[in-house]
Structure 1
Amino acid sequence: MSKLENTINRDLLLRENLALQRTILANQTTFLSFLRTSMYFLVAGLSIKNLLQVEGSIYYQVVFYLISAGILIFGTLNYFRHKRKIEESKIHVGNYKLEYEKEG
């Protein structure tokens, strides 16, 4: 194997590993965005009683709490689903690594 092919294989491994790291960080950032949005709705539910001083404001609170819980549950499920897919995609990088180590 030539020196150029060796360099190309190392670059491929590095590029794949960096892409996986970016994907993991993007998944974590997305989860934190869902968490932040859920907390916004929770705070809205807590403060709606003071903003609307009417008898039916408890229904608005419940709606905001349900939306908050729904967003949190969806965001958590989304995070773990994508985390599993990312873990499964690491196999492909491992295959490149195995081929590279066999040739080197």
Structure 2
Amino acid sequence: MNKDLILREKLAFQRTILSNQTTFLAFLRTSMYFLVAGLTINNLLEVSYGRVIEYVFIFISFILFVAGVFNYRTQHKKILECEKHIGDYKDEYSKH
């Protein structure tokens, strides 16, 4: 049985999980940047349409957060489906 190949698959699987989590955190970080920008833009720009810009930034923040959660959950489901296939390959390796 080739244990190196199984270990390599496990490590690749873990890297994929970490990559998905990192992507979600990047979405979250960007969403928070837009939220903070939206909350502070009215203080920086003293114009009549400052509130509109503030709401636009907050709306973009919300959209980014929802997109990040949706992306994370979609990729997580795909990753779990791939884990089932890795399990099948383990059975194939143990037969030899």
- TM-score for the superposition, normalised by structure 1: 0.88
Name the structure 2 match of 1:69: 62
Q: Aligned equivalents of 2:32 and 2:16: distance in 1?
A: 24
2:7 aligned to 14, 18, 29, which one? 14
1:55 aligned to 45, 48, 59, which one? 48
| Root mean square deviation, CA, Å | 1.0
Q: Secondary structure at the match of 2:48?
A: coil
Aligned length: 96
Runs (4+) off by over 4 Å? none
Amino acid at match of 2:62: A
Name the structure 1 match of 2:16: 23
Q: Deviations over 1:31-60 (max 9, x none)?
A: 000000000000000000100112210000
Query: How far does residue 68 in structure 1 lie from its aligned partner after superposition?
Result: 0.2
Name the structure 2 match of 1:99: 92
Q: Aligned equivalents of 1:11 and 1:95: distance in 2?
A: 16
Query: How far does residue 101 in structure 1 lie from its aligned partner after superposition?
Result: 3.0
Q: Deviations over 1:14-46 (max 9, x none)?
A: 111100000000000000000000000000000
- TM-score for the superposition, normalised by structure 2: 0.95
Q: Deviations over 1:50-79 (max 9, x none)?
A: 001122100000100110000000011000
Identity %: 56
In the alignment, structure 2 segments of 5+ residues that lack a partner are none
